[in-house]
């Protein structure tokens, strides 16, 4: 991570996501794509079967997209948005994951978060932790532009 | 969807993915080798699009939801392109890892596509 990006001259103007953070963004982008695709199919073909579960899927998808954008964008506002969306995701995967195991009848249709994201290699469970770790390690500096 | 062709795609994408992740982690920037591996994955995906369009005309129809299948396929086709542009814009070791992540995601998605095409209940 010692490489110098020639397009930025000072650390203060660096985008928050550089180095290994890029990989984090990439995984978030893939998950956002997966969640969006799935909820698109669910809502387009069988919305009537379980409106609540599918709306939850759509909400999760929107939050993943928002988190991806917030991780890339600069400024204090986006930093707060990144925290909010990632904490929301982590809460979601814990609550829905637990409920889907304790009382499967509540979530008869799979969501991204069912069984702690088992259908997605548990990435939805692990990713928010990595995201929070990253955000904690890379706080917005004082005086940095508020985008 | 042609079974053996799908398995070839899963195999190629997995090998390409692991190669890129390993090379990226040891500090290699995107190279002809890693970009080429992703290009191969992409070419196979484009061939898969042709196969998926043509197959029903030969009596090889999906048993699952065509919309779900195509959502996966279109998303998969976009992934190597996105990761490739990223690698061209930012030539760092982590872009090589991103190439690998994209290829591995394609492998999972092609496998899922095969499931949708071949084994569906009702």
pLDDT of residue A46: 81
Q: Look at residue A146 and tell me if it is in a domain.
A: no
Q: Does B122 touch chain A (CB under 8 A)?
A: no
pLDDT band of residue B120 (cuts 50, 70, 90) is low
CB contact under 8 Å between B67 and A3, yes or no, is no
Domain that includes residue A59, residue range: 34-137
DSSP, res B97: H
pLDDT of residue A147: 43
The shortest CB-CB distance from B97 to any of A23, A33, A38 is to A23
Euclidean distance between CA atoms B71 and B86, whole angstroms: 22
pLDDT band of residue A8 (cuts 50, 70, 90) is very low
The shortest CB-CB distance from A37 to any of B75, B90, B108 is to B75
CATH number of residue B96's parent domain: 1.20.120
Euclidean distance between CA atoms B72 and B68, whole angstroms: 6
The shortest CB-CB distance from A41 to any of B65, B92, B95 is to B65
Digit-coded pLDDT (tens) for B54-77: 998 888 888 888 888 898 899 999
Q: Look at residue A38 and tell me if it is in a domain.
A: yes
Q: Which of A123, A59, A26, A82 is CA-nearest to residue B78?
A: A26
Euclidean distance between CA atoms A77 and A36, whole angstroms: 24
CB contact under 8 Å between A37 and B71, yes or no, is yes
pLDDT above 70 covers a percentage of chain B that reads 98
Q: Look at residue A14 and tell me if it is in a domain.
A: no
Residue A90 makes CB contacts below 8 A (sequence gap 6+) with A128, A129, A132
DSSP B12-64: HHHHHHHHHHHHHHTTPPP-HHHHHHHHHHHHHHHHHHHHHHHGGGGT---SS
Give me the residues of B, 97-116, that contact A with CB < 8 A. Answer: 97-98, 101-102, 105, 108
Phi first, then psi: what are they for B76, rounded to 5°?
A: -65, -40
Q: Does A4 touch chain B (CB under 8 A)?
A: no
pLDDT of residue B26: 92
Residue B92 makes CB contacts below 8 A (sequence gap 6+) with A3, A5, A19, A22, B29
- Residues in chain B with CB shorter than 8 Å from the CB of A34 are 75
Q: Does B78 touch chain A (CB under 8 A)?
A: yes
Q: Look at residue A48 and tell me if it is in a domain.
A: yes
Digit-coded pLDDT (tens) for A12-54: 445 555 677 888 888 888 888 888 888 888 888 888 877 877 8
Domain that includes residue B60, residue range: 3-118
Q: How far from the centroid of its chain's Cα atoms is residue B22's Cα?
A: 18
Residue B79 makes CB contacts below 8 A (sequence gap 6+) with A30, A33, B102, B105, B106, B109
Structurally, chain A folds into a number of domains equal to 1
């Amino acid at each position: 991570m010692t490489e110098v990006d020639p397009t930025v001259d000072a650390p203060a103007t660096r985008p928050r996501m550089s180095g290994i953070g890029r990989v984090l963004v990439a995984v978030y982008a893939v998950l956002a794509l997966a969640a969006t695709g799935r909820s698109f199919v669910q809502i387009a073909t069988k919305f009537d079967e379980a409106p609540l579960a599918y709306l939850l899927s759509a909400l999760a998808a929107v939050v993943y997209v928002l988190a991806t954008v917030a991780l890339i964008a600069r400024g204090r506002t986006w930093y707060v948005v990144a925290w909010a969306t990632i904490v929301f995701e982590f809460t979601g995967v814990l609550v829905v994951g637990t409920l889907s195991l304790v009382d499967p009848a509540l979530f008869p249709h799979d969501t991204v978060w069912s069984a702690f994201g088992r259908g997605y290699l548990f990435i939805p469970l692990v990713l928010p932790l990595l995201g929070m770790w990253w955000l904690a390690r890379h706080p917005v500096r004082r005086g940095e532009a508020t985008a | 969807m042609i079974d053996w062709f799908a398995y070839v795609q899963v195999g190629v994408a997995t090998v390409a993915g692991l190669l890129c992740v390993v090379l990226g982690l040891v500090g290699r920037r995107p190279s002809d080798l890693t970009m080429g591996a992703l290009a191969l994955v992409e070419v196979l995906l484009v061939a898969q699009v042709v196969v998926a369009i043509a197959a029903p005309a030969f009596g090889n129809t999906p048993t699952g939801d065509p919309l779900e299948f195509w959502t996966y396929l279109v998303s998969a086709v976009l992934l190597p392109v996105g990761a490739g542009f990223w690698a061209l814009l930012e030539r760092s070791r982590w872009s090589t890892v991103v190439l690998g992540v994209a290829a591995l995601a394609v492998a999972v998605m092609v496998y899922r596509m095969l499931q949708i095409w071949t084994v569906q209940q009702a």
